[in-house]
């Protein structure tokens, strides 16, 4: 379901020149100044720095990107924040706060003042993620709504129904569902749980992770069926592309993570691509 009038108001369209924006990447560095969280048992050995990312962006015509706090640092957002400040306005950022900490709303307020634009939570499918239905969630979501920054959720498809009561309590909050909730391609009926959220006009979906849920070679046509169904439900103006670099490197390349949407999703027209690759993310993260 597209938002009525949004295309006309924004000027985004098939005839417009648009900049490509990557809606999610991560950066990290092996540096004692930015220690890994104690819970990170196997931290990455290779650095993935903003400079490395910028080279890939330049090579692929990507002009802006959203840096999401890397889970290996847990709630220590300093490296992501340093990256945002050094490379502004190229980067915007999404922080993490501990969702089981009653002080999380105030921490989010401070991190927003520091320069972040949004927060990311990741409730697991098992009992360790049951906090999504606990008493600490409404205050965090309401604070996010009051701050006018997006709530970004990365969770398995089985958890998606647990979000409805929070979305309904925060009708003015922008909510972004990451990576199609990693719905398995051999369980297409499960995608209906995500499609059900299309009834909420401020819910957006990243159509990333086609490469990890697919059981086929590029261009991952089986996973593209998920994208097509989400496109039919949400419309291009509520879908966005993300590379999820450098997580994508375990399956593909940065170039292919982009080209699958830009070149090889044949059901998308030029106007659709202008939204998914640019316009939608600019509605959620207002880049300069």
Position 1 in a domain: no
β-pairing verdict for 151-153 and 20-25? unpaired
Domain that holds residue 255: 6-284
Beta-bridge partners for 153: 121, 177
CA–CA–CA angle 76, 79, 82 (5° rounding): 125
Digit-coded pLDDT (tens) for 197-243: 999 999 999 999 999 999 999 999 999 999 999 999 999 999 999 99
Count of domains observed in the chain? 1
Instruction: Kindly report the pTM of this predicted structure.
Output: 0.94
Position 12 in a domain: yes
Digit-coded pLDDT (tens) for 135-168: 999 999 999 999 999 999 999 999 999 999 999 9
Q: What is the mean pLDDT of the chain?
A: 94
Digit-coded pLDDT (tens) for 123-132: 999 999 999 9
Position 173 in a domain: yes
Nearest in space to 119 (alpha carbons), one of 171, 176, 36: 176
Position 123 in a domain: yes
CB atoms within 10 A of CB 135: 8
pLDDT band with cut points at 50, 70 and 90 for residue 17: confident
CB atoms within 10 A of CB 219: 18
Separation CA 12–CA 279 (nearest Å): 6
CATH code of 14's domain: 3.20.20.140
């Amino acid at each position: 379901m597209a938002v009525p009038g949004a295309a006309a108001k924004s000027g985004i369209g098939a005839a417009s020149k648009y900049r490509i924006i990557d809606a999610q990447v991560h950066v990290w560095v092996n540096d004692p100044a930015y220690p890994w969280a104690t819970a990170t048992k196997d931290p990455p050995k290779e650095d993935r720095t903003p400079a490395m990312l910028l080279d890939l962006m330049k090579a692929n015509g990507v002009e802006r990107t959203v840096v999401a706090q890397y889970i290996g640092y847990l709630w220590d957002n300093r490296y992501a924040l340093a990256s945002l400040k050094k490379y502004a306005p190229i980067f915007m950022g999404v922080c993490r706060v501990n969702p089981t900490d009653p002080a999380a709303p105030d921490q989010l307020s401070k991190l927003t003042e520091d320069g972040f634009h949004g927060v990311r939570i990741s409730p697991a499918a098992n009992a360790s993620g049951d906090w999504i239905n606990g008493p600490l969630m409404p205050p965090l979501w309401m604070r996010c709504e009051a701050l006018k920054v997006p709530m970004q959720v990365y969770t398995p498809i089985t958890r998606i129904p647990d979000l409805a009561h929070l979305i309904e309590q925060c009708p003015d909050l922008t909510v972004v569902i990451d990576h199609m909730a990693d719905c398995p391609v051999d369980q297409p009926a499960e995608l209906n749980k995500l499609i059900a959220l299309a009834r909420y006009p401020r819910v957006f979906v990243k159509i990333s992770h086609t490469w990890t849920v697919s059981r086929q070679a590029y261009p991952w046509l089986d996973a593209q069926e998920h994208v097509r169904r989400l496109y039919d439900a949400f419309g291009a103006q509520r879908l966005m592309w993300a590379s999820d670099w450098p997580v994508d490197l375990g399956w593909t390349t940065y170039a292919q993570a982009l080209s699958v949407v830009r070149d090889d999703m044949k059901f998308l027209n030029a106007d659709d691509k202008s939204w998914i690759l640019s316009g939608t993310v600019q509605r959620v993260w207002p880049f300069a």
